[in-house]
Amino acid sequence: MDELVQQGLALLKEAGAQYAEVRAERRLEESIQTKNQEVETLSRGEDRGIGFRALVDGAWGFAATGELDPASVERAARRAIEIARATAKVRREKVELAPEPVHRDLFETPLERDPLSVPIEGKLDVLLEAGRRMQKVKGIVMAKGSMSAWRVEKTFANSEGSLIHQVLTTCGAGIEAYAAGPDGFQRRSYPCSFGGDFSNSGYEFIEWLDLLGNAERVAEEAVALLAAPTCPEGEFDLILGGSQLALQVHESVGHPTELDRVLGTELSFAGGSFLSLDKLGGYRYGSDRVSIVADATAQGGLGTFGYDDEGAPAQRVDLVRDGMFKGYLTSRETVSRVGATRSGGAARASSWNRIPLIRMTNINLLPGEGTLEDLIADTEHGVLMDTNKSWSIDDRRVNFQFGTEIAWEIRGGRLGKILKNPMYTGITPQFWGSCVAVAGPEAWRLWGLPNCGKGEPSQVMQVGHGVAPAKFTGVKVSGA
């Protein structure tokens, strides 16, 4: 692959590219899904290819090939130049890249046990036993489990002299219990919904999740929800558990701070952003308890890497500091629009056959003080919600509505009865402005979201969100 990368880079430069980059990738992926003591999905696959991006007369051209031979590489490289020249004839603005030092480096995900080397039989034993324990609970009609792992090996080279090798390994797992009764059905997931939790780590992360130790509790909560009262309607103090708060950060902080959305150059799927350029540095995003960073250096995060797909190093960037809006997620192409001189390292592509877009790294709400129990003890009348069930947010990331799998009533500083079908709504800056407390480092956790969609053609990216449970006042709550 390295020889093909260098061949392609030389071709792009010889053909007249003012700037050129080549990115070769090999992806190995494994997926297991179980349902009611049966194996529903068991797959293992490999994908590899090489992409070429060239800047000619201030315009981009991109082409890629999955045929890894010199002739195919030459055709794809020349095609990238042809596309760039055609694009230059109709471009509105000239692309200018922020300078970036030359990097020659190797980055590998630190891990103890390679998740792709752990025998399939052992993984199936865990998922099927978790399903058996869930099904033992009376009222459970379906039990599901899933476990995935993948590794991406990539080589990046550009005409400025950078040559970067990276090996990124990811794994995760989750279980779901479904209960049914005369009034419908309820679902409880662990450790979070929609496939579980993921980390750039080894198999030790899946063992740490302890699916077996949580299976019976998850099933019992699903059954309890069948008979639980519906969440009441009104304005309450709201405490969000980590799993739900991670998605809240994703939708109402991560996406609106992507600078390409602000500039209107990438609007597919999730739309634009309310964070116009005039708001930078002087806009109150939330209360002074709210500080949020984009941190691609956080160990284990799905948004953790050595370098982005433009060759910029992983870094930590302030987005919100003490409630004030401080920064965007940027790329080499966009960062000059906010007066900065160097990319924030947030340009990533989901595959060798896609161009880099501005994507979230690990968007982390910094911890405050105390524990979840402290937040509850300081609440006279409120609701604790966790584990996402549904979400809706407008295309500028202002008005939102979230539903969760479960809630608990809080009375007199104590956790009370379970509530079903809880929902809450809000307006992004008002919601974050109502944050009165964030739990401390001992309650902080980095969650992995492997399926963030963006772009056309579509790109599905892995991102992370570090949060501790947090409390918000005067939030509109209801029951579906």
CATH code of the domain containing 57: 3.30.2290.10
Pair 413, 380 in one domain: yes
Range of the domain at 302: 234-479
Compute, in degrees rounded to 10, the torsion defined by CA atoms 63, 64, 69, 72. -40
Task: State the total domains in the chain.
Answer: 2
- The residue from 192, 227, 262 where one domain ends is 227
* Residue 445: closest CA among 243, 194, 238: 243
Pair 279, 213 in one domain: no
* Residue 163: closest CA among 344, 337, 266, 23: 23
How open is the CA angle 144-146-149, to the nearest 5 degrees?
A: 180
Pair 241, 185 in one domain: no
Pair 154, 222 in one domain: yes
Pair 112, 167 in one domain: yes
Gap between the Cα atoms of 358 and 107, Å rounded: 21
Pair 353, 271 in one domain: yes
Tokens 């890249």 belong to which residue? 97
Pair 333, 201 in one domain: no
- pLDDT score, position 135: 98
Gap between the Cα atoms of 5 and 330, Å rounded: 26
CB 308 within 8 A of CB 356: yes
Neighbour-count burial for 299-331, b at 16+ CB within 10 Å, e otherwise: ebbbbbbbbbbbbbbbbebbbbbebbbbbbbbb
- pLDDT score, position 1: 82
Successive 10-residue mean pLDDT values, the chain, 480 residues: 94 96 98 97 97 97 97 97 97 95 98 98 98 98 98 98 98 98 93 96 98 98 97 98 98 98 85 96 98 98 98 98 98 96 97 97 98 98 98 96 98 97 98 98 98 93 98 96
Pair 195, 249 in one domain: no
Which residues lie across from 382 on neighbouring strands?
237, 410
The structure's pTM equals: 0.97
- The residue from 176, 206, 227 where one domain ends is 227
Decide: residue 17, CB within 10 A, 0-12 exposed, 13-18 middle, 19+ buried: buried
Pair 299, 409 in one domain: yes
Strands (E) located in 57-92: 59-65
- pLDDT score, position 280: 97
Pair 208, 319 in one domain: no
Pair 193, 301 in one domain: no
- pLDDT score, position 183: 81
Gap between the Cα atoms of 73 and 80, Å rounded: 11
Pair 151, 288 in one domain: no
Phi, psi at 179, each rounded to 5°: -115, 145
CB 470 within 8 A of CB 434: no
What is the full DSSP assignment across 129-182?
A: HHHHHHHTSTTEEEEEEEEEEEEEEEEEEETTS-EEEEEEEEEEEEEEEEEEET
DSSP 3-state of 214: helix
- The residue from 195, 227, 259 where one domain ends is 227
Neighbour-count burial for 30-51, b at 16+ CB within 10 Å, e otherwise: bebbbbbeeeeeeeeeeeebbb
Which two three-digit tokens encode residue 9? 């880079």
